Structure 1
Amino acid sequence: MKRHVAAASVSGAVLSALLFGQALAASSTTEDPSVKITRDISSITVIDHGRKVVIERNQNPNNTIDPEYAKTSRDCPPFCVQPMQLLPGVHTIGELELLKLLKQHADGDDSIMIIDSRTPDWYAKGTIPSAVNIPWTTIYRGTDNYDPFIVENLLTDTFHAKVKDGIWDFRGAKKLVLFCNGPWCGQSPTNIKELVSMGYPADKLYWYRGGMQSWHSLGFTVVKPHE
């Protein structure tokens, strides 16, 4: 019996992966680019603040990474290399997993929210399409501008958590996908750690560890907030 259950689980996972690939392929551009995301996926389309944006890779074979992300060495602290497993239960994800979540969100799954945890100056330089900016300085209790009322409103109005008599209920809260500048950046890890300390379920938190550095290095589409 256990063998049949395991086989069914594996088959379900394979089917899910195949369906995801088909869904992404269906949203791809009509052209056949030479630089694809995967062998079968050319692009995906998301909704970025009310407009459609196609996420694809740069087709110029001579394209190089943005100089902002070309540095290999930054002072540590504060720019120290982050672990692969940030906290127990938190999902560390790569580009394909992020694209899957972006596609689900674009298809109407309002239980998912993509969060750029960087400060507004970094966010203004360019971000991942459909991400919203919630700087780490908003949530982190160690900053001078921390306001518990703003954070409570964020948890209830934006993340859809509930509070009654001082007791938080996160059962209906959103899945949050957080990122910042890269494996050396502590902004999204700070947000995640603060949220977990407030009681936010770790299994509802997804961390794109590669962040903007990895996103740029693969030539993915970047948008500016007011383009």
Structure 2
Amino acid sequence: MRQRAASKTLFALVLGVAMPMAAVATDNKITPDIESVEVMHNGKPVTIQRGHDRDATLPEIFQKTDRGCPPFCVQPMEVVAGVETVGELELLGYLKRMAEGESDLMIIDSRTPDWVMRGTIPGAVNIPWNKINRDSAGTFETPSEADSFHHILEDEFGVDRTADGQGWDFSQAKTLILFCNGIWCGQSSINIHTLVGIGYPVHKLKWYRGGMQDWVSVGLTVVKP
């Protein structure tokens, strides 16, 4: 009996010590092989990693499930034929390549500034969806809106005018990875449709469908302006 009791005590001690130690030693990597990713945001280094608070929850702005459709409709898995839909790991890969010096890549937060102020993905550039979106007739309401769009194409996306000045040359255009708030947000998908409509090559467009809601749901780092 004493031996059995001693065995039970020893077993309990082993459990009592080993289990808490294992819990403390447990970290929260992005994948088993990726601890963090170093990126640049507004010229400053930022480390993207997952949070370590086991009690963390989604930010309140992403807790709603019913937003009303339209405009907040569930988006398809394929936004446009030929445009690749990417996830968090692919997006991190693009961010890493950008941090290593690839200048022909661009991560675009398509949301309006009021949303961006609440946090965005490190390394992303905010170009609000309504700076790119055109109306149903495929035009802009005012000449100033058209000028703004052309400025974005030429100065931000690396698109040139054709020799006759009547069209666009996409041979040096950047590869764009666009996102917005999540699968219920159509802002980035609208922009992709607009860009494809003017001839932007589909292989130079990527879509992070999960957007900010998926990003924060796995505890990845966000930055605020």
TM-score range, shorter chain: 0.7 to 0.9
In structure 2, do the counterparts of structure 1 residues 197 and 33 end up closer, same or farther at CA, with 3 Å as the change threshold?
A: farther
Matching of residue 204 in structure 1 with residue 204 in structure 2: yes
Q: Map 1:84-103; keep pairs closer than 5 Å.
A: 84-103=77-96
Following superposition, the deviation at residue 130 of structure 1 comes to 1.0
Is 1:217 matched up with 2:209? no
Aligned to 1:122: 115
Task: Spell out the pairing of 1:9-158 with structure 2 (5 A cutoff).
Answer: 34-142=27-135, 147-158=145-156
Secondary structure at the aligned position of 2:117 is classed as helix
Cα offset for 1:33?
6.6
Distance apart, 1:129 and its partner CA: 0.3
Q: Give me the whole-angstrom Cα distance separating, in 2, the residues matched to 1:124 and 1:132.
A: 12
Gaps of 5+ in 2: 1-24
| CA RMSD, Structure 1 to Structure 2 (Å) | 1.4
Give the drift of 1:213.
0.2
How many angstroms apart in 1 are the aligned matches of 2:153 and 2:57? 39
Q: Is the 8 A contact 1:55 1:220 kept in 2?
A: yes
SS state at 1:110 partner: coil
Cα contact 1:179–1:211 (8 A) shared by 2 = yes
Partner amino acid, structure 2, of 1:41: I
Deviation at 1:167, TM superposition (A): 2.2
Residue 8 of structure 1 corresponds to: none
Give 1:124 shift: 1.0
Contact 1:33–1:59, Cα closer than 8 Å, also in 2 = no
Q: Calculate the TM-score normalised by the size of structure 2.
A: 0.83
Structure 1 distance, partners of 2:26, 2:102, is 28
- Structure 1 residue identity aligned to 2:94: L
For each residue in 1:92-111, what CA deviation from the matched residue of structure 2 results, as whole angstroms up to 9, or x when unmatched? Answer: 00000000001001110001
Which amino acid is the alignment partner of residue 150 of structure 1?
Answer: S
CA deviation map 1:120-160 (0-9, x unaligned): 11111110001111011001112757711111111111111
If the length of structure 1 is used for normalisation, what is the TM-score?
A: 0.83
Q: Is 1:160 matched with 2:158?
A: yes
Instruction: Name 1:13's counterpart in structure 2.
Output: none
* Match in the other structure for 1:174: 174
- Separation of aligned partners in 1, 2:26 and 2:83: 35
Q: Matched residues in 2 for 1:137 and 1:167: separation?
A: 22
Alignment size in residue pairs:
194
Deviates more, 1:149-158 or 1:42-51: 149-158
Assess, with a 3 A threshold, how the Cα gap between structure 1 residues 150 and 220 changes in structure 2: closer, same or farther: same
Gaps of 5+ in 1: 1-31
Give per-residue Cα distances to partners, 1:191-213, cap 9 Å, x unaligned.
11111111111110010000000
Do the aligned partners of residues 33 and 135 (structure 1) sit closer, same or farther apart at CA in structure 2, a change above 3 Å counting?
A: farther
Aligned-partner Cα distance in 2 for 1:144–1:138: 12
